[in-house]
A and B are shown apart, each in its own frame.
Chain A
Amino acid sequence: MAIVGLRVVPTKGFLLELKRRIEIIKEGYRLLSMKRDELTSRLMELLEHYKAVKKEVMGRAEKIVTRFREIYALLGPETIDANASINRGVLDIDVLPLSIMGILVPTVKALREVSVKNLFGPVIREIVYDLVELFQDMIKVTEIEMKIELLATDLERTNRIVNALEKIIIPEMESVAKYIEDMLEEEGLEEFLRVKLIRNIIVARRGE
């Protein structure tokens, strides 16, 4: 009989070592299930937040895009094209790692905000300001999406480990421990019977 990566030796010493291991694994299992519960709760919170933020941002985006199309039609493609060129490549961001339950998730920090101040003429500036705001909100939505994705991946992994521990590894180790115990008990009984038999033989010989 064997456990993954471990050759079973039915000895008392091995049984003690195995029991110690089972205790450690059970402690790990307890901690991992706590992590799983915490991750689930964090993930649920984030999902709720994400749903609310995304609904708001997407609603606004829809309005802004509709408005943009109107302004596009009003000013013509040339004016929009020329103005779109004015403000390129001015957003600097830094992605910093933030630890949630030991999982590193990205946090976006704007080093240099998009500045459209003093740049645009009438009519176009109305939509430019809205678009800049929307762009920053989109970054926030992406940040939350990324957090959710990373937490969900980790939750899936943790869940798999917890399930493996709960359903396979711990029961398997416990059954091995039980098997060793049974073997040892059997060996003990055999030894006892052997001793008793020998004692009887010795007693019988002395009686002769």
Chain B
Amino acid sequence: MLEEVNRLSDYAIIRAHDIATRLLPPQVISQLAYAKNLREVVTILHMTEYGEYISREIEPTPEYLHEQIKKVFIKRCLKLLKVSSEELRDILLEVLRIFEIENLLFIFKKKWAGEKADPSKLVILPFSTINYSSLIETKNVEEFIRLLTSYDVYSEFRSEIISLMGKFNSPLPIEYELYRIRYKRLFDVINKQRFLPDKREIEKIFQIEVDIMNIFLALAPMLYDFSPELIDPLLLPSGHKINIKTLKNVVRSKNRSFVMKALRSYKDIVENIIIKREGEAYVIAQRYLRKELLAHRIPSFISPYYVLSLLKRCEYEFRDLSVIVHGIFYNIPHENIARFLISIYN
């Protein structure tokens, strides 16, 4: 067993500690949020790992900076994947599949409108087996789904989802089906690792993610008049604190106090969703997840959990920097930019 653990807690953990030292500290993130313009952002980032990628000679635009930030994120992911054992890599790949799904949704939604997606806008991680160009070239939504389901990863796409999409004329079922597949694969791969240290803790993080996604979904009928018949089949299984039965009751409820009581474990998030401040709710949820990740960081200093937590922190940094560059470019007040950052607190 010890041998198995050692195999998992290999070089990747050491590299994770190395990458962790390069993550931007909260005070730097905060400093970036209060930068006067993109030039100042470039000046600050130049002193960090991002300096290698960002040129001071080029006039900074949000698109250019986003592209460079994306490169650093991809580089970090690849570094971790390269040094991970097979078992750990499987988990990391499923964690990173969220970017593949975001790409697929981008192409799918464009297809839904009869438009062609611009491949330069995709975050393509090299491990992805998806041929995005052929998906972009498909003639319609049906062909897109047919091609997508021909990939092993998405072969368990449920047929009722397609009829649900047709019945409600909504792309939402496809979106949540992709999330369902991602989480199922993720939990399967975690459970497959019999001797994975901190397995419960790793699972918990993703179960909380599922809870949060379900909360946003379950409140849609009450707040935005979504059809409960559409929402019910989309609820994701394997949540942490909220079971499907409770969520189904929430879907059909119009009573705010009942909802607050049923979802009390995520009070702050629910409160913000109810007052239609979903952006804030999303950030609170991500901060909550980050807090959970950091809380277990020290006890898991030499476990694969640390690698996973680092990967998530890299993702938060990527998303935060994207918010900062776009926020500054579009003259969003600094305090508001700071409000939308995940890694701004220790």
Cα of A30 to Cα of B226 in the assembled complex, Å:
60
Q: Tell me the A60-108 residues at the B interface (CB within 8 Å).
A: 66-67, 69-74, 76-79, 81-83, 85-86, 88
Q: Is the CB of B340 within 8 A of A74?
A: yes
Interface of chain A, helix or strand or loop or mixed? helix
Cα of A51 to Cα of B326 in the assembled complex, Å:
34
Q: Is the CB of B279 within 8 A of A70?
A: yes
Q: Is the CB of B112 within 8 A of A78?
A: no
| B222 close to A (CB within 8 Å) | no
Size of interface on B: residues with Cβ below 8 Å to A: 46
Cα of A193 to Cα of B33 in the assembled complex, Å:
107
Q: Tell me the B168-194 residues at the A interface (CB within 8 Å).
A: 168-172, 175
Cα of A123 to Cα of B223 in the assembled complex, Å:
12
| A205 close to B (CB within 8 Å) | no
A66 cross-chain contacts in B, Cβ below 8 A: 332
Q: Is the CB of A76 within 8 A of B326?
A: yes
A126 cross-chain contacts in B, Cβ below 8 A: 276-279
A154 CB to closest chain B CB (Å) equals 43
| A13 close to B (CB within 8 Å) | no
| A122 close to B (CB within 8 Å) | yes
| A70-B279, A73-B330 given; A122·B216 CB < 8 A | yes
Q: Is the CB of A125 within 8 A of B337?
A: no
- Give a binary string over B101-125; 1 marks a CB under 8 Å from any A CB, 0 the rest: 0100110011011010100011000
A73 cross-chain contacts in B, Cβ below 8 A: 322-323, 326-327, 330, 332, 337, 340
| A203 close to B (CB within 8 Å) | no
B331 cross-chain contacts in A, Cβ below 8 A: 69
Q: Is the CB of B171 within 8 A of A86?
A: yes
A66 CB to closest chain B CB (Å) equals 8
Cα of A86 to Cα of B226 in the assembled complex, Å:
16
Q: Tell me the B299-316 residues at the A interface (CB within 8 Å).
A: none
B257 cross-chain contacts in A, Cβ below 8 A: none
| B42 close to A (CB within 8 Å) | no
List the B residue with the shortest CB-CB distance to A125.
B224
B66 cross-chain contacts in A, Cβ below 8 A: 76-77
Of the listed residues A66, A72, A119, the one surrounded by the most CB atoms of chain B closer than 10 A to its CB is A119
B276 CB to closest chain A CB (Å) equals 5
Q: Is the CB of B227 within 8 A of A118?
A: yes
- Give a binary string over B254-270; 1 marks a CB under 8 Å from any A CB, 0 the rest: 00000000000000000
Q: Is the CB of B110 within 8 A of A74?
A: no
Return the contact of B112 from the options A67, A77, A86, A123 (Cβ within 8 A).
A86
Q: Tell me the B109-162 residues at the A interface (CB within 8 Å).
A: 109-110, 112-113, 115, 117, 121-122
Size of interface on A: residues with Cβ below 8 Å to B: 28
Q: Is the CB of B113 within 8 A of A122?
A: no
| B18 close to A (CB within 8 Å) | no
| A207 close to B (CB within 8 Å) | no
| A117-B225, A123-B278 given; A69·B332 CB < 8 A | yes
Return the contact of A121 from the options B110, B122, B172 (Cβ within 8 A).
B172
Q: Is the CB of B217 within 8 A of A74?
A: no
- Give a binary string over B320-344; 1 marks a CB under 8 Å from any A CB, 0 the rest: 0011001100111000110010000
Of the listed residues A71, A78, A117, the one surrounded by the most CB atoms of chain B closer than 10 A to its CB is A78
Cα of A120 to Cα of B225 in the assembled complex, Å:
12
Q: Is the CB of A83 within 8 A of B109?
A: yes
| A78-B121, A118-B170, A121-B172 given; A69·B330 CB < 8 A | yes
Cα of A126 to Cα of B339 in the assembled complex, Å:
17
B117 CB to closest chain A CB (Å) equals 8
Q: Is the CB of B112 within 8 A of A85?
A: yes
| B288 close to A (CB within 8 Å) | no
A179 cross-chain contacts in B, Cβ below 8 A: none
Would you list 28 pairs from A and B whose C-beta atoms are within 8 A, ordered by A residue?
A69-B330, A73-B327, A73-B337, A73-B340, A74-B282, A76-B322, A76-B326, A78-B102, A78-B121, A79-B102, A81-B106, A81-B121, A83-B109, A85-B110, A85-B112, A86-B109, A86-B171, A117-B227, A118-B169, A118-B170, A118-B230, A119-B170, A119-B172, A121-B172, A123-B281, A125-B220, A125-B224, A126-B276
- Taking Cβ atoms with an 8 Å cutoff, the residues of B that contact A are 62-63, 66, 102, 105-106, 109-110, 112-113, 115, 117, 121-122, 168-172, 175, 213, 216-217, 220, 224-227, 230, 276-279, 281-283, 322-323, 326-327, 330-332, 336-337, 340
- Taking Cβ atoms with an 8 Å cutoff, the residues of A that contact B are 66-67, 69-74, 76-79, 81-83, 85-86, 88, 117-123, 125-126, 129
Q: Which 6 A-B pairs have the closest CB atoms?
A: A85-B113, A122-B216, A82-B109, A73-B326, A73-B327, A126-B278
